[in-house]
Amino acid sequence: MSEELLQAPPGAQTKVNVPAVMMALAQELPPASPKAAEIPAQKPAFENIDPAPAAQQAHDIALLENVNVRVQVLLGRARLTVEEILRLGQGSVVELDRLAGEPLDILVNDKLVAHGEVLVLNGNFCVRVTDIVEQEAPK
């Protein structure tokens, strides 16, 4: 930039001609780069990822075979006071909030996953899954 625009004799009052200084600075700047709108868009290159073969997927699922989960089947619920619980004995009847024959809730790790019905098979009580509950996608 021109030194004469910025230098003044010591002790002298000077007035700076701002437009002249700006013009001098602009002449010394390198040319502007092209605007973003002038640069053509380029298609990004992504690496193709092949899905794992079925044998690999089966192996991955096998890792989960020994994972313990908590499964609960809810026949119904009841709300009792401590006094009512203390009066319970053999043969007592606790009324639940569901009707007989109404679907049961099947929970896995405290999360509702299915509905079912009670069966008796070879003298044992069992639960048959009648409906799988659709899960909401995580947000």
Phi and psi angles of residue 78, each rounded to the nearest 5 degrees, phi first = -145, 150
Helical H runs in 31-78?
Answer: 54-62
Q: Which two tokens stand for residue 1?
A: 């930039």
| Spans of all domains in the chain | 70-132
Cross-strand pairs, 71: 108
Q: Are 19 and 34 in contact (CB under 8 A)?
A: no
Each of the 139 residues of the chain gets a pLDDT tens digit; together they read: 445 545 555 655 556 566 776 777 767 666 666 665 566 777 777 777 777 666 666 667 778 888 899 999 998 899 999 999 999 999 999 998 988 888 999 999 999 999 999 888 899 989 999 999 987 766 6
CATH architecture for the domain at 70-132? Roll (2.30)
